[in-house]
Structure 1
Amino acid sequence: MINQDTIVALATPSGAGAIAVIRLSGNEAIALADACFKSVKTNKALASQKTHTIHLGHIMDGDRTIDEVLVSIFKNPNSYTGEDVVEVSCHGSNYIQQEIIQLFVRKGCRMATAGEFTLRAFLNAKLDLSQAEAVADLISSDNEASHQIAMQQMRGGFSSEIAKLREELLNFASLIELELDFAEEDVEFADRTQFKELVERIRFVLKRLIDSFAVGNVIKNGIPVAIVGEPNVGKSTLLNALLNEERAIVSDIAGTTRDTIEDEISIGGIGFRFIDTAGIRETKDVVESIGIKKTFEKIDQAQVVIYLFDSTEFESASATFKVEIEKIKNKYPLKPLIVIANKMDKLSEDAMQVIQSQIEGLTLISAKSGDGVDALKNQLLSFVNTGALRNNDTIVTNSRHYDSLLKAFEEIDKVKYGLDSGLSGDLLAIDIRQALYHFGEITGEITNDDLLGNIFANFCIGK
């Protein structure tokens, strides 16, 4: 699948900036850079310089100077891709970037496709497939937790755990296969007791990794939280208080929010995406009715629901509030529901105690002053099991890995059943091979061009 030609791409974000980095990789990377580079003080050739060195000079198009640059050299195999790599740090003008890239293309480079640098790193055994995917996760990480997991996986934490299981299973598989070669002599090279212990240990590890996906998926994609309630109870004010900015329009007019407003913040390293919805009420306003319909759609998509009501109206509308709370609980029994009484700053101590006594688990806040908002954030964080994250355990965040782990677990279960039932080695070997196949899918020992194309197409160009 890999081409042996030299590729070039902008490695920094497109657009004007102080500095831009243009990356080349391939057998001719240093020679092509050398053909366009003139050192400031000497006429030294880049090919004769040591790896991991930086050189000041100019990029020249014939006699024309394009820019003063720093050129970094990384010689194979000690580079990101495992090939010769050159990185040109130039000034961040769009014009300069394109002039340098087009110059290299005219000299013989090819524009890199999405993820091609990392693909070459994988194909040259600098990274396994799960580590390569972690590179993309690291680039897209937008909170502490997702960054931490991506770093752990890129360093091989997940890969090493899978590789160890695969190696141990492979050793036993070899012994089982050996038994088949001596089938007529009725011998057992693989100790069945030890094999059962290994299978149980593999099942335990696989189960833990599979279960971790629930947390990993949340950490990677964030937790959608719908803020619902009647109009003018302070939903938009609460959203602004959580985000610590004036994101939503706030007014005393009921029905001001006619569409959903979304924004995301990080709480304790976990991303939460808050959705401020239109107020739920009976209305003849066509536009507001559409907004209310969207509210229920957003509740369907949310993992956590916040029901907000105006505590100053509790005495006159408590029955209505309780009915709405029960409706949400009955319709979404599996979704965590946080019931919040807003505007606590307008209540007396006695009034607060009355409300708390009538609604179990009630949270009292003042979205306007910010009182109780920190406690709400802690409550939201309690819905995420961050124990594995704190303990630095391996957490699965990739749906492809999750799917392969499920298939491997299914095959290991078949092996366990076969051992318990006393099945012959040839039948055990079939299920063992399948389990090994699914382990190999994760790290890339087993792969194909379609899979690689699908994975690396999601990368940015230049990485």
Structure 2
Amino acid sequence: MFSLHEKEDTIVALATPQGVGAIAVIRLSGKDAIKICNSVFKGKNLESQDSHTIHFGTIRDGDRIIDEVLVSLFVAPKSFTKENAVEISTHGSSYIVNQVIKLLVRSGARPAKPGEFTQRAFLNGQFDLAQAEAVADLIHADSETSHQAALNQMRGGFSGEISKLRAELIHFASMIELELDFTEEDVEFASRDDLRILVEKLLRVVEQLISSFDLGNVIKNGVPTVIAGKPNAGKSTLLNALLNEEKAIVSEIAGTTRDFIEDEINIGGVIFRFIDTAGLRETTDVIESIGVSRTQEKMKTASLILYLFDLTDSSMEEINRDVENLETLGVPFIKVANKTDKSNTQFINELKGKFPDTIFISAGQKENLEALKNRVLELVNLDKFRTGNTIVTNIRHYDSLVKTRQSLLDVLEGLDNEITNDFLAMDIRRSLHYLGEITGEITTDDLLDNIFSKFCIGK
């Protein structure tokens, strides 16, 4: 956590990615940000200009011109951090960037720590902790769904749900606390029946938020999808076809893939992490057997399995056996019949009768892959997300919600057992504490350090 002295500093950092580009943006924030920038800027007097204005000029180290720049001014409290802030747009040379930052440091700024801009925004009341965390998620969003989830959280969707829950509970907590001051009069300010109704209502909402985490985790991190089947079923060919590149080695020799080959594919705005695995078969090859064993472990932890089998080299008995084994894993799987271009119609029709949900493809010819993608997408339930429901994507929030649920259950148990007000108040306060942890109304220095240290410098 930053010291009080550090909070008064003016900080500086590169806000755009490192490396050579057309432009680079250097950001300053703090009470002296405009003053410091003005001391090295040749153009208008920045200290007399309005907020949200842009000014052309040069950055100079004495008489030496470092670069021609555009300076954007944000006068407190009308900035991201609610402090005076400046953004200097320079040419994208790493030499220029380093020279400008060194000059600003010599002029009174100090290099920003990871996440310090966003942490200052949080500490200055620009947004709550859940919204601050969403800033990092938004920066790293790599799909439509992860972007939308982060944007919804950053704009206060999730925080709004938590604040409503907390506000309703605070009212009852205050009434019960008040009763503690009138124990001798035996008065009741908070109806126990009304409290039970409220707690049960809160539990339903908390349960919904907790259950949304599986979907939220998928949206944020991608769906781990294992491609499994016998050697030479076409698993590597399918991965290459889905990626539209030669990622995996394809060979007629069985057992070519000895370990995992993994890559990400965006399907319908959702990231799927496809994993090509070693073929499932009995083998005396030590290395291959290790790969087969790892495949079986990977299948158990996957969110989805594509069971791929070769129509020209599989019997109905083998497919039946594999399907039965897959069903025991409890992991959703899709039956994918490969090499339709080489198979006979009779066997295909037999399979359609036995397993009507099978997807028939030719990975080598890239035939019917869209049908496979559509089926894969169907198994990720995005209905809640697309209807605007709040989705939990952060493991810290999930953990606090689980603790909130237990505290609320303790409140109900206390009501059932008619425990005294002081113990009932303790359970309610614990619920409020865990809800407050999510938005930062209840926090610690260690928690803030842990969260913001994961941000990039300049954000």
TM range (shorter): over 0.9
Identify which range, 300-309 or 179-188, moves more after superposition: 300-309
Structure 1: runs of 5 or more not aligned: none
What's the CA shift for 1:76? 0.9
Of 325, 328, 331, 1:327 maps to 325
SS of structure 2 residue aligned to 1:313: coil
Q: Structure 1 residue 27 and structure 2 residue 52: aligned?
A: no
SS of structure 2 residue aligned to 1:453: helix
Give me the whole-angstrom Cα distance separating, in 1, the residues matched to 2:323 and 2:203: 42
TM-score of the superposition, structure 2-length normalised?
A: 0.95
* Deviations, residues 125-151 of structure 1 (Å, cap 9, x unaligned): 111100001111111111111110100
SS of structure 1 residue aligned to 2:341: helix
The within-5 A match list for 1:33-432 is: 33-39=37-43, 44-314=44-314, 317-330=315-328, 332=329, 334-359=330-355, 361-432=357-428
SS of structure 2 residue aligned to 1:197: helix
Instruction: Name the aligned partner's letter for residue 104 of structure 1.
Output: L
Return closer, same or farther for 1:201/1:329 CA change in 2, 3 Å cut-off.
closer
SS of structure 2 residue aligned to 1:90: strand
Give me the whole-angstrom Cα distance separating, in 1, the residues matched to 2:293 and 2:414: 53
What's the CA shift for 1:357? 3.1
What's the CA shift for 1:231? 1.8
Instruction: Name the aligned partner's letter for residue 172 of structure 1.
Output: F
Identify which range, 225-234 or 365-374, moves more after superposition: 365-374
SS of structure 2 residue aligned to 1:299: helix
TM-score of the superposition, structure 1-length normalised?
A: 0.94
* Deviations, residues 56-76 of structure 1 (Å, cap 9, x unaligned): 111111111111111011111
Give me the whole-angstrom Cα distance separating, in 2, the residues matched to 1:37 and 1:255: 65
Instruction: Name the aligned partner's letter for residue 369 of structure 2.
Output: V
Instruction: Name the aligned partner's letter for residue 211 of structure 1.
Output: S
Instruction: Name the aligned partner's letter for residue 356 of structure 1.
Output: K
What's the CA shift for 1:374? 1.5
What's the CA shift for 1:250? 2.2
Which residue is 2:448 aligned to?
A: 452
Identify which range, 441-450 or 412-421, moves more after superposition: 412-421
Identify which range, 406-415 or 237-246, moves more after superposition: 237-246
Q: Structure 1 residue 6 and structure 2 residue 10: aligned?
A: yes
SS of structure 1 residue aligned to 2:25: strand
What's the CA shift for 1:447? 0.7
* Deviations, residues 243-262 of structure 1 (Å, cap 9, x unaligned): 23332232333333333211
The count of residues paired between Structure 1 and Structure 2 equals 455
Instruction: Name the aligned partner's letter for residue 186 of structure 1.
Output: D
Instruction: Name the aligned partner's letter for residue 264 of structure 1.
Output: E
Give me the whole-angstrom Cα distance separating, in 1, the residues matched to 2:351 and 2:402: 47
Give me the whole-angstrom Cα distance separating, in 2, the residues matched to 1:67 and 1:244: 44
What's the CA shift for 1:418? 2.3
Return closer, same or farther for 1:193/1:301 CA change in 2, 3 Å cut-off.
closer
What's the CA shift for 1:311? 0.3
Instruction: Name the aligned partner's letter for residue 278 of structure 1.
Output: A
SS of structure 2 residue aligned to 1:172: helix
Give me the whole-angstrom Cα distance separating, in 1, the residues matched to 2:293 and 2:412: 50
Give me the whole-angstrom Cα distance separating, in 2, the residues matched to 1:254 and 1:192: 69
Structure 2: runs of 5 or more not aligned: none
What's the CA shift for 1:90? 0.6
Give me the whole-angstrom Cα distance separating, in 1, the residues matched to 2:200 and 2:290: 54
What's the CA shift for 1:121? 0.5
What's the CA shift for 1:388? 1.1
What's the CA shift for 1:286? 4.5
What's the CA shift for 1:283? 3.7
SS of structure 2 residue aligned to 1:254: coil
Give me the whole-angstrom Cα distance separating, in 1, the residues matched to 2:401 and 2:255: 48
What's the CA shift for 1:360? 6.0
Instruction: Name the aligned partner's letter for residue 429 of structure 1.
Output: A
What's the CA shift for 1:191? 2.7
Identify which range, 22-31 or 339-348, moves more after superposition: 339-348
Give me the whole-angstrom Cα distance separating, in 1, the residues matched to 2:414 and 2:208: 23
Which residue is 1:436 aligned to?
A: 432
Give me the whole-angstrom Cα distance separating, in 2, the residues matched to 1:200 and 1:351: 55
What's the CA shift for 1:268? 2.0
Whether the 8 Å contact between 2:300 and 2:331 is mirrored in structure 1 is no
SS of structure 1 residue aligned to 2:446: helix
What's the CA shift for 1:284? 4.3
Identify which range, 109-118 or 362-371, moves more after superposition: 362-371
What's the CA shift for 1:195? 2.2
SS of structure 1 residue aligned to 2:324: helix
Give me the whole-angstrom Cα distance separating, in 2, the residues matched to 1:136 and 1:273: 21
Give me the whole-angstrom Cα distance separating, in 1, the residues matched to 2:284 and 2:297: 20
What's the CA shift for 1:380? 1.5
What's the CA shift for 1:384? 1.6
* Deviations, residues 179-207 of structure 1 (Å, cap 9, x unaligned): 11111111111233332222122111111
